[in-house]
Structure 1
Amino acid sequence: MFYSTNLPNADPAEIARDLFPDMNEVTGKVAANYTLRTPYRLIFSSMKSDEPDDYYSNCFIAPDIALYYQASKEETQIVIHRAHLHKHDFFEFMFVLSGEIYVNIENARHLYRKGSCCILNRNVMHTEEYHTDFRIVFLQISSELMQRLNDELRLSFFSVERERPSSVMSNFIRNNTSSATDTHRAYVDLIPLGDNKEITKTLHDYFDQITHETLDPGIGSTFMILTLLKKILLYISVSDYFSTTPVQIGSDTEYALFEEIEHTMAESTGRISRSQLANKLNYSGAYLNEICKKYSGLSLFDYGMTFCMKKAARLLESSSDNITDIGIYLGFTNRSHFYKIFKSIYGMTPAQYRKEKFSLSS
């Protein structure tokens, strides 16, 4: 695994662990919540199956920081095994420059080919699959910046702007920047119409200009980047360029119930039976299992075990307790069962996990 950064006298691996915990920390399969600490961030991601040493790479670009991450095929297999549903506190626009990629969105598998894209709001749970060759750009925009862009997009000096009809994209942005929609889960699929090459070139040029302004900022760079971001949002709103499909997922009531399940699992370290959960939340165990599978992709038992194994992982890292004793503490009377579940989530035995963490910290 290789890292490099533009910050002098800084340890790039430390920066990666701080800014991008989803790429570096073993988190099991619990749906994680990722936070954007800058107004926007670009991620250039690629998968090259014919280059085992440079199999998977990411370049992160944000105000005042750039980080390059490269992983071998073997290291990438670990990332694939640990891939799990996650959501953001920001908006994410994904554009496929070349190749294709599968994305699991709320447990429905979607294929995105060259020129296609999607934009997710803050609550959609998803994960990318790493099985095909691709080059992708992710543009991540904070809620505050998206609200500002939405306000400025409504500003118009010219009649041609005021006469522009409302689009799926403009409705999506408007509907998802309101505090009243904080729990809504929605995204838009965009499929290119006409010349893929021209669409790809135009958006690639915008991303290049944002990259240049971010890496070599000067007076006025902030306003230049704001303009480029608005150009991107306006460009993908044009019905002549993209076929747009808006998707609204689930209901607020269902999602609120899943959050109760998640909270209860966290409180109990996942060691709560279906009947106990049913009594606590006043819903049938079958319905709770259905909601859990819908929003996490896992049964109640498997979902609970991810919390339990996260606790096990913390104990393996922070204590010198015997592994068998850790298993007993977490309610396992069968050592083999504890090992089997831990390995199914983390891709290695508890002993291997402790050894790996010890070697990283020494």
Structure 2
Amino acid sequence: MVEIDPHPLNYVKNRHPKMNMKVWKKTMIEANSLPEKLKDLQNNLSEKPASVLDTNSPVSMYFKTAKDNQILYTAAYGGEIRYLIGDSINVPHKHAHFELMYVLHGSLTNYIEDKTVYYRAGDGCLMNRQINHYEVLDPACSVVFVNFSPEYLTSIFNETFSHKQLPTLGPLFEFLRANIADDDDLKRSYVEFTQTNEENRTFNILLDSLQLELSTSKLGAGYFQKGLSLRIIDALQNNTIFFTKFMDLGLSKEDFLVAQVLNALEKRMGNITRAELSEITHYNDEHLNRVVKKNTGLSIMKHAKKLKIKHAMDLLAHTDMTISDISSAIGFTSESHFYRFFKENLQQSPDQFRQEKKL
């Protein structure tokens, strides 16, 4: 991502150098005439903890960038780009809409009800409605939020899918469908996701495209917004782009921590150190190991070993990768070490296992 310039016009110019800047200038709102919605947002957050924040727009995007001890708030919706430069607003709040958060650069801490979650570039979450939360950006962090109103999603789903088809489209569509209708039966849950391939730019391209369509009043922009919204949701459940997990806020803090550790292990197929887990969770690695063993009966190392074996078996059975490449993918620096590890756990060599699966 480009480095964010504190002046919003330069920010837009840097992200979209091919755009006609005269068009952008017409859509920019100067700081001395900030849109009332952003002013109200700042005032409401300062005065009403855990207030319900709503947006008049069916779909909108907000960027927050930490720079020089201040936050640049940039909003794209209704054919315009608006901005506000001010202090960080760190007050618990909840939304009447679904909020997709994705870290573009740097890192942040998200306080979700009584849980604490740390996100880095490529990480994000899809927040259910009516869940108290707030985020604190680390220096130089840049994060984007995409807000979808329930009415907007209902409209898109009804226009695009049959009632029977929707539940078959994947877990994220089902998560949204299940939490659209009934305010009294909202699940205390959210979705976490982490990009699995840093080279894959699909999701960033979709976000940039949606930003452009939300920032223009050109004919047909609304149709593009609907299509891009569906593609963004679908990308989040594509396991070639993201590792996705559903998180239950009804868990105790300890159970939630165990879930975080197991998710991190699964995401990396066991190829992660205790020191890295400590960095992700901000807990001492000895404490993490004790808690995981207490709740699952297995140490972190044994969980990692099970996942490595499972990954190796899958690659041997379903790919034509060489043993050397599989060894590297599992995290071994030595092919002979991988052979020994595999045979000790499965009582046969990788070659024997592969031949057996091909019979």
Report the TM-score when normalising by structure 2.
Answer: 0.56
Q: Does 1:59 align with 2:74?
A: yes
For 2:98 and 2:153, locate their aligned partners in 1 and report how far apart those are by CA, in whole Å. 8
* Aligned 8 A contact 1:6 1:66 in 2: no
Give CA-to-partner distance per residue, 1:195-252, whole Å, 9 cap, x none: 1231xx222211222222222332211111111111101111112322222124349x
1:175 counterpart = 2:175: no
Gap change, CA 1:70 and 1:239, over 3 Å in 2: same
Q: 1:248 & 1:147 partners in 2: Cα distance?
A: 24
Q: Percent identity over the alignment?
A: 21
Measured at CA, do residues 242 and 20 of structure 1 come closer, stay the same or move farther in structure 2, by a change above 3 Å?
farther
> For the aligned residues, what is the CA RMSD?
3.2
Deviation at 1:16, TM superposition (A): 3.9
Which stretch shifts more, 146-155 or 226-235? 146-155
Change (3 A) 1:216 1:11: closer
Q: CA 1:153/1:169 → structure 2, altered by over 3 Å: closer, same or farther?
A: farther
Provide the rounded CA distance (Å) in 2 between the counterparts of 1:141 and 1:65: 17
Give the equivalent residue in structure 2 for 1:142.
149
Q: Which residue of 1 aligns with 2:218?
A: 218
Q: Following the alignment from structure 2 to structure 1, what is the Cα–Cα distance between the partners of residues 26 and 184?
A: 38
For 1:131 and 1:225, the matched residues in 2 are separated by 31
Q: What is the CA deviation profile of residues 113-139 of structure 1, one whole-angstrom value per residue up to 9, with x for unaligned ones?
A: 111110012111100113343111110
CA 1:172–1:181 in structure 2 vs 1: closer, same or farther (change >3 Å)?
Answer: farther
C-alpha contact (below 8 Å) 2:29/2:82 kept by paired residues: no
Secondary structure of the corresponding residue to residue 37 of structure 1 = coil
Would the alpha carbon gap of residues 182 and 15 (structure 1) be closer, same or farther in structure 2, given more than 3 Å must change?
Answer: farther
Map 1:210-359 → 2, pairs under 5 A:
210-250=210-250
Residues 219 and 235 (structure 1 numbering): CA distance in 2 closer, same or farther, change over 3 Å?
A: same
Q: How many residues align?
A: 231
What amino acid sits opposite 1:97 in the alignment?
Answer: L
Q: Select which of 116, 120, 127 maps to 2:123.
A: 116
Decide whether aligned partners of structure 1 residues 87 and 98 sit closer, same or farther in structure 2, where only a CA change above 3 A counts.
same
The superposition leaves residues 315-334 of structure 1 with CA deviations (integer Å, 9 ceiling, x where unpaired) of xxxxxxxxxxxxxxxxxxxx
Change (3 A) 1:163 1:178: closer
Tell me, yes or no, if the aligned pair for 1:59 and 1:66 is still in contact at 8 Å: yes
Aligned to 1:32: 51
In structure 2, list runs of 5 or more residues that go unmatched: 1-5, 10-23, 252-359
Contact 1:17-1:25 within 8 A present in 2 as well: no
SS in structure 2 opposite 1:129? Answer: strand
Q: Is this contact kept in 1: 2:66–2:142, CA < 8 A?
A: yes
Partner secondary structure for residue 106 of structure 2: strand
- Decide which moves more: 209-218 or 83-92: 209-218
- For the residues of structure 2 that align with 1:9 and 1:225, how far apart are their CA atoms? 20
- Aligned partner of residue 196 in structure 1, secondary structure: coil
Q: Kindly indicate whether the alpha-carbon contact (under 8 Å) linking 2:94 and 2:129 is maintained by their aligned counterparts in 1.
A: yes
In 1, Cα distance between equivalents of 2:116 and 2:133: 10
Closer, same or farther: CA 114–9 of 1 in aligned 2, 3 Å? closer
Map of 1:182-221 to 2, 5 A cutoff? 183-193=186-196, 195-198=197-200, 201-221=201-221
Q: Secondary structure at the match of 1:133?
A: coil
Which structure has more relative contact order (CA 8 Å, sep 6+)? It is 1
SS in 1 for 2:219: coil
Q: Deviations over 1:72-109 (max 9, x none)?
A: xxxx3xx35xx211001111001111111110001211
Q: Is the 8 A contact 2:156 2:226 kept in 1?
A: yes
Task: Quote how far apart the aligned CAs of 1:187 are.
Answer: 1.0
Distance 1:167 1:217, change over 3 A: same
- The alpha-carbon deviation at position 22 of structure 1 amounts to 3.0
Q: Give the aligned residue type for 1:224.
A: F
